[in-house]
Amino acid sequence: MKTSRTALTVGLALAAFTSVAQAQLITRNFDVTGVSNAVVARFTMWINLNTDTVVVDINNALPASNGAKVGTITGIGFNTPFAIASQAGDNPGVIEFKAKWTVGSAPGLANNVWSNDDFWTEETPYSLNPSFSQDYGVTASNPNSGIEYGEKATFYFKFGQDLNLGNVGGFFSNNNNTQPNIYDFSVRWQEVDTKWNYFNNGCNGADSDKGGINLIPFSDGDLPPTPEPSTYGLMGAAALLGLVAHRRHKAKKLAKTV
């Protein structure tokens, strides 16, 4: 009976701490479709308030018929919670950018290996045109460095400023700065062609495309409620009691075998 009580105490404490950790992660899943050629790609955006990071999983391998248009992703842009200085090139909080290809690979970049991707350039602000402008973005130096159709990649962005529940709404606000933003997140494709031509003519399509999306605003329902400071104390006490009880039970068991 004592063992089960100990296990229950430890389990409740761990569950409480796990809930708090999970409460700091906001996820968005969305597709972006091009406005001219209906090229489409899928994205998962992870905003981690504990580590002040944004991770974007990019899936440019959605099933398509041979007559559908596909292309190479050569740029993505998104809003941030931080204001941009008036001088071009000032970074809105991002202090590290790196990338890895999980399906396929970019030239000189091994599959599933993080790289400080020199062939993608950070831009502040990110501006395709007034309708597709965000606070921050990255662009490929040329289509050969892009995410070709059939490939998947993960981009990592580390912020030097604190991401928290008070400012995270800036990722979902298309009026975050003075740029005439319309979308929270935008994508650019090059080498756009039908799927059949794309693979049979060496990705030499002459068309390009771009698309954007307004992300669902952050709300309290996205996260479990964060405990009050007093609750943290109770959780810590419960974990400590569980550990003490477990050690006592272990010591008694050892004494009986001696």
pLDDT band at 73 (very low <50, low <70, confident <90, very high): very high
- CA dist 27 and 131 (Å) reads 25
- DSSP per-residue letters across 204-242: ---EEEEEEEPPPPP-GGGSPPPPPHHHHHHHHHHHHHH
Question: In the 3-class helix/strand/coil scheme, how is 52-119 assigned residue by residue?
Answer: CEEEEEEEECCCCCCCCEEEEEEEEEECCCCCCCCCCCCCCCEEEEEEEEEECCCCCCCCCCCECCCC
Q: Give the pLDDT band of residue 46 (cuts 50, 70, 90).
A: very high
pLDDT tier at 88 (50, 70, 90 boundaries)? very low
User: What pLDDT, on a 0 to 100 scale, did the predictor assign at position 5?
Assistant: 53
**pLDDT above 90 covers what percent of the chain?**
41
Identify which has the larger pLDDT, 181 or 74: 74
What's the pLDDT score for residue 29? 95
Residue 45, both tokens: 């955006």
DSSP class of 188: E
Chain mean pLDDT for the chain:
78
Give me the pLDDT at residue 4, please: 52
Summarised one tens digit per residue, pLDDT across range 142-161 is 898 999 999 999 999 999 88
pLDDT for 228 equals: 42
pTM (two decimals): 0.75
Label residues 236-257 b or e (16+ Cβ within 10 Å = b): eebbeebeebbeeeeeeeeeee
**Amino acid 40: pLDDT:** 98
**End-to-end Cα spacing for the chain:** 22
| Residue 132 clears pLDDT 90, i.e. is over it | no
164-190 pLDDT per residue, tens: 998 898 898 765 444 445 789 999 999
